[in-house]
Amino acid sequence: MNWIARTLHPLWILGVLHTTAVFGQAETGLIAHWRFAPEHQLGNKVKPLFGGPDVTFDGPVRFTKDPLPPRVELPGQNESLRVAEDLSKALLPVRDMSAEAWVRVDRPMRWGGILTVIQDNGEFERGWVLGFVNSNFSFGLASETARKLTYTTAAAPFETNRWFHVIGTYDGTNQLLYVNGEIAGQSREQAGNLLYPPKAPVVIGAYQDDDEHHRLVGAIHEVRLYRRALAPDEIKTRYEKRRGDFPEPAPTPKRLELAYGPFVDWRDRSSAVVTWETDEPMPTRLELEAPLGAKRVLGSGMVSKRHEVRMTDLRPNLEHGYRIVGPSTDGVGLQSRRYVFDSSFYYEPVIAPGAETARTMSSTFEIAQCILKQTGVRDGYCLVLGATDGGLAVELVRQSRLDVVVIDSDATRVAAARKTLDQAGIYGVRASVHLAENAELPYGDLVANLIVSESALVSGAPPPFGASEVSRLLRPVGGSLVMGSSNAGARSQRAKWVTWLKAGKLESATFSDRDGLWIHLERGRLEGAGEWSHQYGSTDNTSCSQDDLVQGELQVAWWGDPGPRPMPDRGNRNPAPLSVNGRLFVQGNRILFGLDAYNGAILWSLSAPEVRRANVTRDCSNMAAAGNRLYVAHGRYCLGIDGQTGERRHRFEVVENTSPGAFEWGFVAASNEWLIGSRQKKDAHYLGDDGEWYEDYSPEQISRVTSDRLFSLDPESGAVRWTYRGGVILNSTITIADGMVLFLESRNPEAMAAPSNRLSHEQLTDQYLVALDLRTGKQLWDKGHDLSACQFMTYLVYSQNTAIITGTDKDKKYHTFAFSAPAPNRPGGDDLESAIPGRLLWSDVHKEDKGHHSGHLQHPLVVGTAFYSDQRSFDLTTGKLLRTDLPERRGCGVMSAAKNSIFFRHYFHGMWDLTTNKRSQFEGIRTGCWLGLIPAGGMLLAPESSAGCSCTHAIQTSVGYVPKSLVKR
């Protein structure tokens, strides 16, 4: 390459001379000509070859001519190239104009700019922009007549990493875009003088106005601006004269499709391990982009299917780009898509000094070890009731991930404990000491994962706080109390403990006198608490958790991370959070979180850049939870993640994966007995990467994601139990209840033969409601029905032998169809009409009630025998309209329900009490634009989902609410 550069260099000099002679000062109408060659750079300015003004640059730009052509390399970070801060200082064309550039774009983007002077703020559209839209060059402008921007865009996409000659011209009537000398787009919507905004910067290499700043990733050789429209033949000549100066791009690397991963697991604050797998053994490495653009290639490049690389020296709180690169063949590289790892998202507790070094096996060390081992508690909050010197807290911190709070009523002991913890380097960040002001403990109920007593270790007696105070603090589903002493006289205190426990109604505690006297108690589930294990509550899709506790007045129980930064934009209709077994699972933007549902402690996080799904309105979630496991669909696999630790313990492969990489895991549902999945062709899912709102009636937004196989696996062994092969299954309708799997499928041969599993509703004709036996996968019955009115979306919910299909047509009318769907083992009543499978029980058509913010996309819910849809409720089995006076819900989300309340976004987190018919809301905090409020475990859980909202909602955080009726404090 170097010899080529040396050889070409004199030609470039000749080229420059030639260009100047031909197009230089003699050029008619030329306003300015900037060439971004190192020799024209002076300080942070680039001097124009002709005209002016200077271009001022800032940020990590790089001027180079090695290899040719001379250019400025733009990383697309925080750089800027400004012709003028404001257009008033630039000599801009009045009407006729041409903007010309030699440019190389390395990354397509929604709005890209090459030379721009623009304001596009709502309806205020002024100026012009030579740039690109996604992968297509474009030229947009506003004239005094049209007073809005119109774009002419090249039909053919540009190739990244290749040099292009791009010109936009306008002569007062005709707006033309030229790419490589040819007309690529034309518009005649504008007329008259250019319409400029009062204020706008004139910039190169970015699309910038008051609201937006999108920086080009690539390089620019030169830019010219004219006050005349260059003629087509003139443009062609210019292109032909220079095209030889721009080398062909290096061969585009082939896409390396990973078989599995990548996943990033933190090791410490500055290092993390990336793992991935390839289908074939090959040497791969990881190319890491530091935040300022420097690249490092990591890994040994060993030939293997499984690969692991440690990223070190990660700077905190910055985005790091990376990709997996494989071996070159025939000079063509192999690389994965580019991923981003954000080192802000580090949620591990501060490591106590001394935690990882050898320690004296003190009795306190052993006691802490024994407590943690016996209870299995490792995360969350630990209360130490009664202090001596804080030593137990130090050991608990060193041996676990707990945040420890010591409380005592004696100021001297409190001071001593503080000193111990402070000297251990953990005060505040891992442990703290509170002075009790009275016999009542100040903490909110259900908060503690572990309660112990340091004073009891010495005295052998119960702590100086009542057992009733202690019992209310234990977190349900595993919160543990362990107290006692190994002292010789400890056993003599048994009577005191019995009395203490009885006063707190903790008689179920067990005693152990093998080594002194120890008391152990583990709190079980809250009676009446429900779970939210799947996208719409459970696999019946009723959006009701059956939680009997979440009702009445609620209060904040906890708040904290994750905040908005790791979350996807609110409007992408993202998968709902889930909560089972006292845990809360949240899907961020390619990052997963496990939290303690009762105190918000982050149990784990996992950066998984291939885990992403949006527009679940037309698809299904990629998550399900059952028991202690979270299932996550990931490429061709479904992962079984340990809900407590985040470890990836199981991996299930999609059935009939006949060609590696051809199919993906679609639907996922799980119980402790089965795992149901679906197979679909690769890349059918929506990803929401371009800020789509998925609210409009367009094929890009409303096409359904479908599957061609439905199957059941053993969740332990992974053995396939059955596979269903029928029509094209609509993912949004798969419903499991009462021993049945229900769904809608299209039997249109065209849909079944389509190369993609993302299909328009026009393709999905000939629809059938199908019921399978959950145990065997055998078809129980099917029923064809005309569901063509369900155009925006199609939902299916099941409750009490009734399957209800809902959708809206393009005029936003709701169409509802209720079918009899008797459970296979339904006792008696076979003479009833409702016992005939697939019989239409009732239907309804009505215009959406809300008229804005997804009013036409509402997912229904079922509470008791009432079917709630839009702002109405119907009798589930008869269709009788029960009420139309449901409170207005202003926001863009959908409803969720418990037995006694409905939750939704009004302006803020909103709640509607079904017993009092009163609406309330929690001011200052909002949810996202799908399902973000889930009632489970006696709590209302609202992980942050408003991210991206540029509104001034005062608080963006995850929060858990608890009913006041359930707690004392």
Residues 341-360 that bind another protein (CB under 8 A): 344, 350
Q: Which stretch binds another protein (CB under 8 A): 78-86, 177-185, 498-506, 525-533?
A: 78-86
Which 913-932 positions form the footprint of another protein (CB under 8 A)?
921-925
Of the pair 47, 813, the CB lying nearest another protein is at 47
**488 secondary structure, DSSP code:** G
Identity of the residue, 59 or 464, whose beta carbon is nearer to another protein in the bound complex: 59
Q: Which residue(s) pair with 630 in the sheet?
A: 625, 641
Binders in 171-230 for another protein, by CB under 8 A: 198-199, 210-214
Binding mask 937-966 for another protein (x = CB under 8 A): ----------xxxx-xxxxxx-x-------
Contact positions with another protein (CB under 8 A) in 895-914: none
- Give the nearer residue to another protein in terms of CB position, either 494 or 953: 953
CB count, 10 Å around CB of 317?
12
> Which candidate, 423, 496, 508, places its Cα nearest to that of 453?
496
Touching another protein, residues 597-626 (CB under 8 A) = 599-602
Which candidate, 857, 934, 905, 928, places its Cα nearest to that of 570?
Answer: 928
704 neighbors 731 (Cβ within 8 angstroms): yes
804 by DSSP, 3-state: which?
strand
Query: In angstroms, how far is CA 931 from the centroid of its own chain?
Result: 13
CB-nearer residue toward another protein: 67 or 560: 560
Q: Counting every residue, how long is the chain?
A: 969
Q: Give the x-and-dash track for 300-319 against another protein (CB under 8 A).
A: --------------------
Task: Decide whether 143 or 278 has the Cβ nearer to another protein.
Answer: 143
How would DSSP label each residue in 241-296?
Answer: HHGGGSPPPPPPPEE---SEEEEEEEEETTEEEEEEEEEEEEE-EEEEE-TTS-EE
* CB of 198 or CB of 660, closer to another protein: 198
AA letter at 140: G
Number of shown-chain residues binding another protein (CB under 8 A): 79
Give Cβ neighbours of residue 83 (< 8 Å, ≥ 6 apart).
32, 53, 55, 90, 202, 203, 204
The residue within the footprint of another protein, chosen from 425, 464, 552, 864 (CB under 8 A), is 425
For residue 595, what are the contacts with CB-CB under 8 A and spacing of at least 6? 583, 584, 585, 586, 601, 602, 603, 943, 958
Cα–Cα distance for residue pair 653/871, rounded to 1 Å: 41
Q: How far is the CB of 589 from another protein (least distance, A)?
A: 8
d(C-alpha 895, C-alpha 911), whole Å: 9
As to burial, measured by CB atoms within 10 angstroms (0-12 exposed, 13-18 middle, 19+ buried), residue 96 is middle
Residue 70 CB, nearest approach to another protein (Å): 24
How many other CB atoms sit within 10 Å of the CB of residue 249? 13
Integer angstrom CA distances of residue 828 from 509, 763, 821: 46, 40, 14
Closest distance of CB 92 from another protein, Å: 13
Least separation in angstroms between CB 565 and another protein: 5
The nearest distance, CB 580 to another protein, in angstroms, is: 20
With respect to another protein, which residue has the nearer C-beta, 195 or 372?
195
Q: Could you say which residues in the range 32-61 bind another protein, by CB under 8 A?
A: 44, 58-59
Applying the rule CB under 8 A, the residues between 544 and 573 that interact with another protein are: 555-561, 563-565, 567, 569-572
Binding part of the chain for another protein, among 27-35, 394-402, 476-484, 593-601 by CB under 8 A, reads: 593-601
Residues 101-160 that bind another protein (CB under 8 A): 110-111
**94 binds another protein per the rule CB under 8 A:** no
Shortest distance (Å) from residue 610 CB to another protein = 18
Residue of the chain from 63, 124, 693, 697 that contacts another protein (CB under 8 A): 693
Binding mask 382-421 for another protein (x = CB under 8 A): ---------------------x-x------------x---
Mutual angle of helices 391-399 and 411-423, in 10-degree steps: 40
Helix (H, G, I), strand (E, B), or coil: what is residue 230? coil
Give the residue with the Cβ less far from another protein, 354 or 824.
354
Q: How far is the CB of 86 from another protein (least distance, A)?
A: 6
CB burial of residue 935 (10 Å; 0-12, 13-18, 19+)? buried
Q: Site for another protein (CB under 8 A): which residue of 25, 88, 492, 917?
A: 88
Q: Which is nearer to another protein, 571 or 715 (CB)?
A: 571
Q: Which is nearer to another protein, 222 or 695 (CB)?
A: 695
Q: Smallest distance from the beta carbon of 354 to another protein, in angstroms?
A: 13
DSSP 465: S
Tell the smallest beta-carbon distance from residue 175 to another protein (Å): 23
Contact flag: residue 442 with another protein (CB under 8 A): yes
Q: Prior bond to 283 cis, omega within 30?
A: no
Among 7, 78, 362, 779, binds another protein (CB under 8 A): 78
User: Which is closer to another protein, CB of 476 or CB of 688?
Assistant: 688
> Which residues, 6 or more positions from 237, have their beta carbon under 8 angstroms from its beta carbon?
181
Nearer to another protein, 411 or 753 (CB): 411
Contact between 434 and another protein per CB under 8 A:
yes
Shortest CB 51 distance to another protein, Å? 22
8 Å CB contact between 932 and 942: yes
Helical (H) or strand (E) element with 416 = helix 411-423
CB 697 within 8 A of CB 807: no
C-alpha to C-alpha distance for 196 and 654, rounded to whole angstroms: 56
Which residue lies nearer to another protein by CB, 224 or 434? 434
Q: Quick one: 211 or 279, whose CB is closer to another protein?
A: 211
Cβ proximity to another protein: between 500 and 908 the closer is 908
What is the C-alpha separation between 190 and 350, in angstroms, rounded? 61
Contacts with another protein in 792-811 (CB under 8 A)? Answer: none
**Residue 435 — φ and ψ, nearest 5°?**
-95, 115
Is residue 579 at the binding interface for another protein, with CB under 8 A as the rule? Answer: no
Least distance to another protein, CB of residue 842, Å: 37
CB of 352 to another protein, least distance (A): 11
Least Cβ distance, residue 227 to another protein (angstroms) = 21
Closer to another protein by Cβ: residue 33 or 926 = 926
Nearer to another protein, 58 or 714 (CB): 58
Closest separation between CB of residue 704 and another protein, Å? 22
The reply to whether 691 sits near another protein by the rule CB under 8 A is: yes
DSSP notation for 526-552: PTT---B-BTTBSTT---B---SS--S
Backbone angles phi, psi at 787, to 5 degrees: -115, 25
Q: Which of residues 850-889 bind another protein (CB under 8 A)?
A: none
How many C-alpha atoms does 86 have within 13 Å on its Cβ side? 5
Residue 822, preceding peptide bond in cis (omega within 30° of 0): no
Site for another protein in 669-688 (CB under 8 A): 688
On the CB side of 926, CA atoms within 13 Å amount to 24
